[in-house]
Amino acid sequence: MVMRCLGALSRALLHMFPRKRPAGGEVEEGVPREAVVPKKLKVECSKSEVAADGNHRPPHGMACDSNGRNGADIDEDLHSRQLAVYGRETMRRLFASSVLISGLNGLGAEIAKNLALAGVKSITLHDEGIVGLWDLSSNFFFYEEDIGKNRAVACIKKLRELNNAVMISTLTGELTKEHLSDFQAVVFTDISLDKAMEFDDYCHSQHPPISFIKSEVRGLFGSVFCDFGPEFTVVDVDGEEPHTGIVASISNGNPALVFGVDDERLEFQDGDLVVFSEVQGMTELNDGKPRKIKNARAQSLILEEDTSHFGAYEKGGIVTQVKQPKVLQFKPLRDALSDPGEFLLSDFSKFDRPPLLHLAFQALDKFKHELGCFPVAGSEEDVQRLMAFAISINESLGAGKLEEINQKLLRHFANGSRAVLNPMAAIFGGIVGQEVVKACTGKFHPLFQFFYFDSVESLPVEPLEPDDVKPLNCRYDAQISVFGSKLQKKLEEAKVFLVGSGALGCEFLKNLALMGVSCSQKGKLTITDDDVIEKSNLSRQFLFHDWNIGQPKSTIAASVASSINPSLHIEALQNRACPETENIFDDALWESLNIVINALDNVTARLYIDGRCLYFQKPLLESGTLGAKCNTQMVIPHLTENYGASRDPPEKQAPMCTVHSFPHNIDHCLTWARSEFEGLLEKTPNEVNTFLSNPSEYTSALKNAGDAQARDLLERVLECLDKEWCENFKDCITWARLKFEDYFVNRVKQLTFTFPEDSATSTGAPFWSAPKRFPHPLQFSTSDPGHLNFVIGASVLRAQTFGISIPDWIRCPLELADAINKVSVPDFQSKKGVKIVTDEKATSLSAASIDDAVVISELITKLEGCARKLPAGFRMNPIQFEKDDDTNYHMDLITGLANMRARNYGIGEVDKLNAKIKAGRIIPAIATSTAMATGVVCLELYKVLDGGHKLEDYRNTFANLALPLLSMAEPVAPKLNKHQDMSWTIWDRWIIKGDLTLRELLQWLKNKGINAYSISYGSSLLYNSMLPRHRDRMDKKVVDVARDVARAEVPPYRRHLDIVAACENDEGADVDIPLISIYFR
Amino acid sequence: MSSPSKRREMDLMKLMMSDYKVEMINDGMQEFYVVFHGPKESLYQAGVWRIRVELPDAYPYKSPSIGFVNRIFHPNVDEMSGSVCLDVINQTWSPMFDLINIFEAFLPQLLLYPNPSDPLNGEAAALMMRDRPAYEQRVKEYCERYAKPEDAGAPPEENSSDEEPTEDEYDSSDEDAVPGNPDP
């Protein structure tokens, strides 16, 4: 019986109702027993697959699908970053997919790695060849001792270690069509065109079709072809969230005109389908029927619907985009070859390349077919043969014939064609890995159908001599055949600083080890990362395994990289690179470097490293990923602008008043929940501890401040130690129950008391108009799981801050409910109501309530009284939010806070996973785009280390594998500043030798026709022409002023200090002068 | 626009050139106070506030953080924390804006035209919408009570930054000041 994806999928779907993950090996009801076979069995099962001839079929059927993942269970701790990209449904489909990868060169290895990390059901590796020296240039699974083994077999152990939930098997004999029927997707990295057409014809004609992908990397050239069958449905074409908008009005008409609220832009496009909800008045629109729109604008859209006879619009309404599936009709390879359609273009400066490469790859196939080998690097004879094949194929094309064949490009193609280079494998491994995910899940738009790419700019500036590309019988022979041994030597002797050892860092280390960078005693790779390995890292950071959890990232990554290439000369540090560690990452280290590679996950660190590279004039290779997107930026001294020269707009944040009182979506509720969590469990306990560790200093500081903020702080500290003091767990329950009342009942009642539902603004418009939503208080009930979970989360965490142990009875629902019900909850009284009774307060302010100083004194007296009664040495335990520990109740409380608030405002609630992704600001991340980014960067690394490349040789990249889109462009040159006959860029520095005074410094600038009005050192102001007291500093040495003002000594090893001067020319126009270095000793 | 590293200095300079009193803490440029007078023809015209300005590392790409130190009764300013809810400072900030815009335009506009529809101080907003005279009275009371020149740390009569002695007073009395000698 052949089990096909639909069968497996529908069976999985049967069991897809929501459920918790099984804990402690429990078998849950509703899950077929076979699906939860204990782990042990799985190990045996997979062992038997490789045994014997290693030619077993991929395992299928429940008997062997023993990983407990019949589609329903996703290990959220492992896959949280990937879930943030794909969502649960896509992951489930992925978990049900079996994939064949044929051809275990570097490209095959990269694809296999990316798919194992993603978590497909099974991967079958096919290769008939054996590991050779040339494979060591790109396949990181192979160690030198693997030479001579079958390629597929040599990969299996390490591939399995990447994700033991994926079944890995091998095929080492000749592949036939019949083998293919077991898979949802098949990938070929090294197959002749004839064979490819035969296999693709078979895949294309199956029901359902098998997705077929053919990809090759040949030197600095690469290709992909996809055929997902005659009718392939794309479920999600771009991976973006559906757009939503808040309705302000809808007309009765045909068509109808819809306006959105003023302060939010609508982001729909013409032709989108939308649904409406919560519309009042014109309730006919709430029927859930998708309707088409046109004339989509920022504030309005036209709805293709006759609403003339609908009810009149009153208020409210949310309009949501309905994402439409798209059906693609793929052509089989046989037809597409002669009629390739539009090529995906990656570089507008190379718009004419794809048709030429389409031809070149066919010519290479012909060459191999006729001569039984690849063209030899440096052989002019082979270049001419390849050229002849290309010409003859071109002649046969008729109408599609190329006018001219670029001979120079074809020469490069022929010379490097035997080599599989690691950076190219990393790029294409990312692209193809993503295409397989698309084929198996329908998530994201497939590549349709051909893609060609080259990076000839990576070749050395000086032309290569045949002697230079001759093999040296070493592991770098493939790379040498393309770049020559001179560049190879430069790579091996490079001194590199790799900043970060996370997802990008792991990929980079693998790439650098394979390329031989810093792999001689003269070379040195310094890597640093202050983080330790967590479970959520393992789905991308492939140098780490589950037995490494808790160990330092950089050390583990370095040791694994050293086993990939034992010559790697690497030092691993565990420090964050930041201003505080400049004694470790000192001037001597920086000055020794040839190149710096960022593998960071935050902008602050990137800007810091950028500043250091700018200062020490070092090339910086920068990259970053976000879900399926990635970007790379080259920062080359004097050639390009620096990283900090251009910035993304800061992230949009919800307005404070919205978060505070008027949330209208779940994000607002989650932001509020995060901030309440921090206030209750981290800030206030910290404040209490600050008070307790030095009461007199604390109180006198607040007394001095004497303002509302000081009063607020004191009130909180006092509350914690007095009224809300927790002695035992019951007190914590009381506190939690009263917090519920405060947050979700009293505050809402107060707000709706202040602003009743019918209140109007000064202009007479209703106050509660969109986007504001009118809230309703909750009625607490122990039978509501949401209420109960909130109280559990809050009381457990409260207990932790007081060092109270958690009793077992909280797990017993009855006892818990009983304890909660015993809490006496006072009735709500509105604050304003109180004021109306004591009437003089309402109109005029009483002295007691307004004189903060008096209140502060009273509070301090009370607080001191309280402190005396505390147990000696009492301190609270502040809790820092940690999203990734599923057992710590943090996410439970945040989800509870957010969802109860959402209920108040009638906003849809969020599940714990999505709450974690949003509140934990989890950056969506997948292995494919990460690997690809590092491959693109390493193509640039060749250019930097070769030296002498011009700006037009470099490329910055933006890619989105979901679309798919790959866009490469020349970096931007740095801004040139001019003054009189001088010119400079940000890379320049002015150097002054001598220990001069401020006055002398100003004069030195004056002599250049520049007037400095402000001089600073770091964030300290040394001189400002407007401040009279700074005039006293004029005759002091600059270094002394800097020391006094910034309160920092220049380190003894440094002979200079750097200052920034803000200047004008004689006409009063600003002159942006370079940094000034004063060599004072 | 000049390079970001110099924007702090240029912005500060412009403020001082426009006669704003800028009170620095030990010559640091990341956090300082600016004395702000209520705009003429507004309910707040007699008031003087000390405004805390914090320039983030990413300034001017990221907006400065602005807070009233002494109390103000205003629908869009939180009474206890002094935080301001103003879209040009929070959501629609652009690096083309600078500090002078905040003190010359954004804050005066906010005080002239409060927006009770998006309140941060609900009581002020509700009072403004429901009982205008009572609201106006309360605003003025707050000004008299909390926003006298001495509450803002400014001497009674208007002063520019050339007042040397007051400057040193702040240095030594400010809670945030690092203990030690004031600037030489």
Contacts of A604 in chain B (CB under 8 A): 57
Nearest to A655 among B85, B116, B141 (CB): B85
Nearest to A1062 among B10, B81, B164 (CB): B10
CA A533 – CA A501 distance, rounded (Å) = 10
Substitution target from A607, A610, A656 for chain B, most B beta carbons within 10 A: A656
Q: Is B171 in the A-facing interface, judged by CB distances under 8 Å?
A: no
| A256-260 and A244-250 strand pairing | antiparallel
pLDDT in the model for residue A212: 98
Interface touch B16/A850, C-beta < 8 Å: no
Nearest to A1070 among B2, B117, B122 (CB): B2
**Nearest-by-CA chain A residue for B178:** A1047
Q: DSSP label at A326?
A: E
pLDDT in the model for residue B6: 84
| A98-102 and A185-188 strand pairing | parallel
Catalytic residue IDs of A = 657
- Round to the nearest angstrom and report the end-to-end CA distance of chain B: 33
Substitution target from B145, B175, B178 for chain A, most A beta carbons within 10 A: B175
AA identity, residue A970: E
Contacts of B146 in chain A (CB under 8 A): 850
Q: Is B85 in the A-facing interface, judged by CB distances under 8 Å?
A: yes
pLDDT in the model for residue A263: 77
Interface touch A1047/B180, C-beta < 8 Å: yes
Bond before A771 cis per omega within 30 degrees: yes
Is the pLDDT at B162 greater than 50? The verdict is no
Exposed / middle / buried, residue A1019 (Cβ in 10 Å: 0-12, 13-18, 19+): middle
CB of A637 within 8 A of CB of A947?
no
CA A680 – CA A716 distance, rounded (Å) = 9
**Nearest-by-CA chain A residue for B172:** A704
Contacts of A705 in chain B (CB under 8 A): 175
Contacts of A661 in chain B (CB under 8 A): 119, 122
CA A161 – CA A141 distance, rounded (Å) = 11
What is the number of helices (H) and of strands (E) in chain B? 7, 4
Q: Is B125 in the A-facing interface, judged by CB distances under 8 Å?
A: yes
DSSP letters for A888-915: SSHHHHHHHHHHHHHHHTTPPP--HHHH
**Nearest-by-CA chain B residue for A1041:** B184
User: Over the Cα atoms of chain A, what is R_g?
Assistant: 33
Substitution target from A578, A657, A835 for chain B, most B beta carbons within 10 A: A657
Contacts of A1037 in chain B (CB under 8 A): none
Please state the domain extents for chain A. Answer: 244-322, 664-725, 727-768+778-829, 977-1079
Contacts of A656 in chain B (CB under 8 A): 78, 83, 85, 90, 120
B143 counts as catalytic: no
Q: Is B75 in the A-facing interface, judged by CB distances under 8 Å?
A: no
Contacts of A707 in chain B (CB under 8 A): 69-71
pLDDT in the model for residue A685: 96
Q: How many residues does chain B have?
A: 184
pTM equals 0.86
**Nearest-by-CA chain B residue for A264:** B91
CA B184 – CA B182 distance, rounded (Å) = 6
CB of B6 within 8 A of CB of A1060?
yes
pLDDT in the model for residue A832: 56
Q: Is domain A727-768+778-829 classified as CATH 3.40.710.10? A: no
Under CATH, what is the fold of the domain A244-322?
A: Elongation Factor Tu (Ef-tu); domain 3 (2.40.30)
Contacts of B75 in chain A (CB under 8 A): none
Q: How far is B16 from chain A (nearest CA, A)?
A: 7
User: Distances from the Cα of B170 to the Cαs of A794, B24, B153, B177, in angstroms?
Assistant: 43, 8, 8, 9
pLDDT in the model for residue A974: 96
Per-residue pLDDT tens for A381-394? 999 999 999 999 99
Nearest to A754 among B9, B126, B183 (CB): B126
Secondary structure (3-state) at A333 = helix
Q: How far is A519 from chain B (nearest CA, A)?
A: 38
What is the number of other CB atoms lying within 10 angstroms of the CB of residue A145?
9
Please state the domain extents for chain B. Answer: 4-152
Interface touch A762/B141, C-beta < 8 Å: no
Q: Is B113 in the A-facing interface, judged by CB distances under 8 Å?
A: no
CA A626 – CA A133 distance, rounded (Å) = 36
Q: How far is B101 from chain A (nearest CA, A)?
A: 19
Interface touch B61/A649, C-beta < 8 Å: yes
pLDDT in the model for residue A850: 60
Q: How far is A1020 from chain B (nearest CA, A)?
A: 5
Nearest to B118 among A657, A1028, A1029 (CB): A657
Backbone angles phi, psi at A723, to 5 degrees: -60, -40
CB of A899 within 8 A of CB of A663?
no
Under CATH, what is the fold of the domain B4-152?
A: Ubiquitin Conjugating Enzyme (3.10.110)
Q: Is B17 in the A-facing interface, judged by CB distances under 8 Å?
A: yes
Contacts of A655 in chain B (CB under 8 A): 85, 87, 90-91, 118
CA A517 – CA A491 distance, rounded (Å) = 5
Q: How far is B40 from chain A (nearest CA, A)?
A: 22
A224 Cβ contact list (under 8 Å, min separation 6): A213, A214, A215, A428, A431, A432, A435, A447, A450, A451
The catalytically annotated residue of B34, B35, B77, B85 is B85
Interface touch B79/A653, C-beta < 8 Å: no
Contacts of B4 in chain A (CB under 8 A): 644
CA A803 – CA A792 distance, rounded (Å) = 16
Nearest to A1021 among B27, B122, B132 (CB): B27
**Nearest-by-CA chain B residue for A835:** B123
Q: Which residues of chain A have pLDDT under 50?
A: 1-71, 833-848
Substitution target from B51, B98, B118, B169 for chain A, most A beta carbons within 10 A: B118
| A965-969 and A956-960 strand pairing | antiparallel
CB of A50 within 8 A of CB of A170?
yes
Per-residue pLDDT tens for B48-106? 999 999 998 888 888 999 999 999 999 999 998 999 988 888 778 888 899 999 999 99
pLDDT in the model for residue A841: 37
Substitution target from B27, B69, B150 for chain A, most A beta carbons within 10 A: B27
**Nearest-by-CA chain B residue for A1034:** B184
| A1056-1065 and A1070-1071 strand pairing | antiparallel
Interface touch A712/B81, C-beta < 8 Å: yes
Cβ pairs bridging A and B (under 8 Å) = 156
CATH (one of 3.30.200.20, 3.10.290.60, 3.30.70.330, 1.10.10.10) for A977-1079: 3.10.290.60
Contacts of B28 in chain A (CB under 8 A): 1019-1021
User: Distances from the Cα of A1081 to the Cαs of A1038, A1050, A1057, in angstroms?
Assistant: 12, 11, 10
Interface touch A759/B130, C-beta < 8 Å: yes
